[in-house]
Amino acid sequence: MKLAITTVDAFTDKVFSGNPAAVCLLDQELSDVQMQAIAMEMNLSETAFVKKTSGPHSYNLRWFTPTVEIDLCGHATLASAFWMVKSGWAKPGDMIRFQTRSGELLVKSNGDWIEMDFPLIPTVAERHPFFEGDFFGAKIHYSAKLKRNWIFELQDANAIESCEPDFSVVKKYSEEGIIITAAGKGSFDIYSRFFGPNVGIDEDPVTGFAHCALMDYWFQRSGKSKLKAFQASKRGGELHLEKREERVMIRGKAVKVLAGEIEF
């Protein structure tokens, strides 16, 4: 069997930055075991699998890290929609309806931007039982809990950039991962990073799902319903966020890096 596969850098317009995702547009069924094996072979934070359904502009979308299938992934959704438009699977401006483990996600292209309608992830102020006062030397000013993850607000953007976590400790004291965040600098409202060693990703370059929670967190903290966000990983990435009741609109750009095929 031969399967076309494309790598796309998401939340950026420059190659070798943003968050890379592999995208497979499927004309045939694959088993869960096959999809997981392909994701392990690609060894990216996410590999996305897209298959047409019977509905208009409707597609099944699944996301796999190298080790597990996950419930929600922003950058691989953006990469999938971007590549669907570029390859002719969808037309520019089409409302793409992705059927996922997190419900239906609506995505469309608008010029160079991809706009995604995602669920807002609620956060609740709570102190972490282990990281009570600091996160590897950086003072935790506020903390919040979301399903299987934590948010720690540090002093400023410089603390986000300079943080050097011990991933074995993060793995031991988290279920999925930990998001660190702070008020931004320059033109950005917020900075963040995401560490997820328990899902096979020590540090994710740019994390869409984390910003579904960060939008809720910062709305509670600042009252702002629109945020320009920067994820301060080594690769870096830019996201534009807007809270709309219990949804969050995430806007970003993407660029194709390579295309080929897997034979198995």
Closest CA to 77 of 176, 148, 11, 3: 11
Pairwise CA distance, residues 89 & 84, whole Å:
5
Segment 201-248, tens digit of pLDDT: 999 999 999 999 999 999 999 999 999 999 999 999 999 999 999 999
Tokens 């295309």 belong to residue = 259
The pLDDT of residue 200: 86
Catalytic residue among 46, 115, 176, 238: 46
Pairwise CA distance, residues 208 & 259, whole Å:
23
The pLDDT of residue 55: 86
The pLDDT of residue 169: 98
Segment 133-151, tens digit of pLDDT: 999 999 999 999 999 999 9
**What pTM value is reported for the model?**
0.94
Pairwise CA distance, residues 189 & 243, whole Å:
14
Phi-psi region of 133 (alpha: psi -120 to 50; beta: other; left: phi over 0): alpha
The DSSP bridge pattern shows strands 134-135 and 138-139 to be antiparallel
Q: Which residues contact 107 (CB under 8 A, 6 or more apart)?
A: 77, 78, 81, 95, 96, 98, 114, 115, 116, 117
2-117+252-263 and 124-244 have identical folds: yes
Burial of 32 by CB count in 10 Å (0-12 exposed, 13-18 middle, 19+ buried)? exposed
pLDDT less than 70: residues of the chain: none
Q: Domain locations in the chain?
A: 2-117+252-263, 124-244
At how many degrees (to 10) do helices 74-87 and 208-222 cross? 120
The pLDDT of residue 150: 98
Regarding the domain delimited by 124-244, which CATH topology (the fold level of the hierarchy) does it fall under?
Answer: Diaminopimelate Epimerase; Chain A, domain 1 (3.10.310)
| Cβ atoms < 10 Å from Cβ of 9 | 26
238 flagged as catalytic? no
Considering the segment(s) 2-117+252-263 as one domain, its CATH architecture is Roll (3.10)
Pairwise CA distance, residues 3 & 251, whole Å:
29
Pairwise CA distance, residues 116 & 42, whole Å:
25
3-state secondary structure of 115: strand
Q: Are 224 and 216 in contact (CB under 8 A)?
A: no
